[in-house]
Structure 1
């Protein structure tokens, strides 16, 4: 069996995987290392003053993960539109034993 992944497949999967890891793992670890607050909203005291904010804006993290999903969606649409390459060995008839 031959490897059917093309350069477009590798680029799309690599880019989406890198965006997923960046948006979920790397930024999550940075948030943990930065300390509290762990919530995506700013913490306020009873007077309404902001006493702590997250290190990385949650909309940025969400945007990176959505970008990874969009890359996968575009790649999936590309795979649906392009015809499958058939291998000559796949088309050859094999005699039964």
Structure 2
């Protein structure tokens, strides 16, 4: 299967969003230090003593956006014929005589 420009852009955007939100933001969360909890940590008095460095809603949203882009690519590939991007059709190829 050959990928055209649209395929490469959509696959790159999808994988870039997912990798950025999982790997890069995960590493930033680790570098920020403890706690690694996705929720705010409170003390016995109810005061917030620690929050995550990056809001989990943002990370989840980026992953879902990456998956949505992948779904758009899948829909594009399902609707566009496989030979739409080629300049030669099956009938115009040269064949050698026996």
User: Do both share a fold (TM > 0.5)?
Assistant: yes
List aligned pairs for 1:21-32, cutoff 5 A. Answer: 21-32=19-30
Whether contact under 8 Å (2:25, 2:59) holds in the other structure is yes
Q: RMSD value over aligned CA atoms?
A: 2.1
1:21 positional shift:
1.0
Relative to the length of structure 2, the TM-score reads 0.84
1:38 to 36, 39, 44: 36
1:90 positional shift:
7.2
List aligned pairs for 1:42-81, cutoff 5 A. Answer: 42-81=40-79
Q: Which residue of 2 aligns with 1:95?
A: none
Tell me, what secondary structure is at the counterpart of 1:51? strand
- Cα distance per residue 1:21-61 (max 9 Å; x no partner): 11000000000000011010000001110000001000000
Distance 1:62 1:11 in 2: 22
**Runs of 4 or more off by more than 2 Å in structure 1?**
86-92
Relative to the length of structure 1, the TM-score reads 0.85
Structure 1's unaligned 5+ residue stretches are 93-97
Distance 1:71 1:20 in 2: 10
User: In the comparison of the two structures, how many residue pairs are matched?
Assistant: 91
Distance 1:36 1:7 in 2: 42
